[in-house]
């Protein structure tokens, strides 16, 4: 399925112009009191949602901006417009 993504600067573009940056896991956890297990979970573990998830994308062949957007992983369609990082 062809993916189309909406870059916040360049607009709607072919998904092949972008590089996937992983799930958006929220802000980096506070270091004070952070256990190795919690840090490992934050870095390596993913939710792998079958449905809508928020993701990071990089416009590699275009303006070079990192942004987040929501994509339905079951249909491979973008759901919402992107937000600049």
Q: Which residues bind another protein (CB under 8 A)?
A: 9-11, 13-14, 17, 59-65, 84
Task: Tell me how crowded residue 79 is: count the other CB atoms within 10 A of its CB.
Answer: 13
Task: Tell me how crowded residue 39 is: count the other CB atoms within 10 A of its CB.
Answer: 13
Nearest distance from C-beta of residue 36 to another protein, angstroms: 35
Task: Number of helices (H) and strands (E) in the chain: give both, helices first.
Answer: 1, 7
Nearest distance from C-beta of residue 6 to another protein, angstroms: 14
Nearer to another protein, 13 or 25 (CB): 13
Nearer to another protein, 11 or 51 (CB): 11
């Amino acid at each position: 399925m062809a993916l189309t993504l909406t870059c916040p600067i360049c607009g709607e573009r072919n998904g092949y112009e972008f590089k996937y940056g992983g799930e958006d896991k929220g802000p980096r956890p506070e270091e004070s009191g952070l256990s190795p297990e919690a840090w490992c979970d934050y870095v390596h573990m993913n939710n792998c949602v079958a449905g809508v998830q928020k993701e990071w994308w990089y416009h590699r062949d275009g303006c070079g901006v990192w942004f987040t957007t929501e994509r339905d992983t079951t249909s491979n369609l973008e759901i919402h417009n992107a937000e600049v990082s």
